Amino acid sequence: MNAQYTTTVTSSGGREGHVRSADGVLDLPLSMPKELGGSGKPGTTNPEQLFAAGYAACFENALLRAAREQKAKLSGSSVTATVGIGRRADGRFGLEVALTVKLDGVGRAEAEALARAAHEEICPYSRAVRGNVDVAVTVA
């Protein structure tokens, strides 16, 4: 692969620490969610929220590309990513993702085809997690 963009983020302190990008634009305190035994401090984020934000934005962009390629006339769009973390059958932690797609201006069948194309062919996040993370894509 010939990377067209590269970014660097450093974490210190793990799930109860801090993340900062090399350019300082991303600079956030972290806390482990209470559900995982952490403090869940107000005003902090966690890796699952950051992953959900990145996946939602990337997937919506993949949808917009699919729409352009198929000459679909969208009047609006959004993607909501819900990321879950928990123990798998082998006792190790794993992730699951639910992507809810909202596409305005097209019918349900066309929206489902665009979502399928985005997930199966375009989105690099979907490609990266394929076979490792359960991902459900639904059209609202």
- The tens-digit pLDDT sequence of the chain (140 residues) is 999 999 999 999 999 999 999 999 999 999 999 999 998 899 899 999 999 999 999 999 999 999 999 999 999 999 999 999 999 999 999 999 999 999 999 999 999 999 999 999 999 999 999 999 999 999 99
For residue 3, what are the domain limits? 1-45
The reported pTM is 0.94
On whether both 134 and 104 belong to a single domain, the answer is yes
Contact assessment for residue 138 and residue 101, using Cβ atoms and an 8 Å cutoff: yes
**Residue 134 β-bridge partners:** 96
Q: How far is CA 8 from CA 17, 19, 23, in A?
A: 17, 10, 8
Question: What are the residue ranges of helices labelled H in the chain?
Answer: 47-69, 108-117, 124-129
On whether both 131 and 77 belong to a single domain, the answer is yes
Number of domains present in the structure of the chain: 2
On whether both 6 and 24 belong to a single domain, the answer is yes
Q: What torsion, rounded to 10 degrees, do the Cα atoms 108, 109, 110, 114 define?
A: 100
CATH number, domain containing residue 53: 3.30.300.20
